[in-house]
A and B are shown apart, each in its own frame.
Chain A
């Protein structure tokens, strides 16, 4: 079985799917990513599907699952590079990529993740003084 490589770039894991994945390869990618998120402490995952000429219900479900798993592990997932014909087909198939954030390309994806992470840090900072004033 072929395996999809996962690259670490700064605080982000980048997965660029270059092959027509078998279902088994897709499931393996899901597991590999969860392990890498924990091992690296990365806060963002970018899945680049520019090379994919179709996304069927199995791969669609895998993308949703990865997004949910990474959320639980405190990382944001962004899917980038979806081809127009793939988007049209997905809608007609009836697949709503639930909980999946998308961006046009890797660069935009990185901006999205950076923004989401900054917001979260901000929120934590804002929260602390409030919590202190609340304690008598």
Chain B
């Protein structure tokens, strides 16, 4: 699986079932390893991806994930976009609070994954759904 990845191209994975969330983790891990992120950084990125992909599935009603190797001229990194066309997040500040959940979760997915990555960006609305972009840079 790892051998077949073309790092020059974005890698896409649809998120329709909890098996797909497993596939997202495997894809992100493969790209993170290939991009030579440290073991701790790989672990943080895969964990964040697992949280965000599960949100895409559970709250966004499914969607897609795209993983890209990025380069800012100084460092290489891995960027992941999670997109759904679900209901959006009405109160973003509240949703980003540690411990806030509208479901039966621990409310750590959004706030926790923001801590695990270097860059975290959310665009969300009731019309367009939710799109979260995260980036982890190699040290």
Query: Which A residues fall within an 8 A CB radius of B?
Result: 20-24, 53-58, 60-61, 83, 85-86, 88-89, 92-95
Contacts and interface: CB of A to CB of B under 8 A. Distances in A.
Contact of A22 (B21, B29, B42, B44): B21
Given A54-B25, A61-B106, A86-B43, A92 B116 contact: yes
Given A53-B29, A93-B112, A93-B115, 13 more contacts: A23-B21, A53-B42, A53-B43, A54-B43, A54-B47, A57-B108, A58-B54, A88-B40, A89-B40, A89-B43, A89-B116, A93-B47, A94-B111
Residue of A57, A83, A85, A88 with highest tally of chain B CB at under 10 A: A57
B51 to A, nearest CB: 6
Majority secondary structure, B binding face: helix
A94 B26 CA distance: 23
A57 B105 contact: yes
A53 B106 contact: no
Interface residues of B, number: 27
Query: What are the 8 tightest A-B residue pairs by CB atom distance, in nearest-first order?
Result: A93-B112, A85-B43, A56-B50, A23-B18, A22-B18, A85-B40, A54-B47, A57-B108
A92 B44 contact: yes
Contacts of A55: 47
Contacts of B46: 53-54
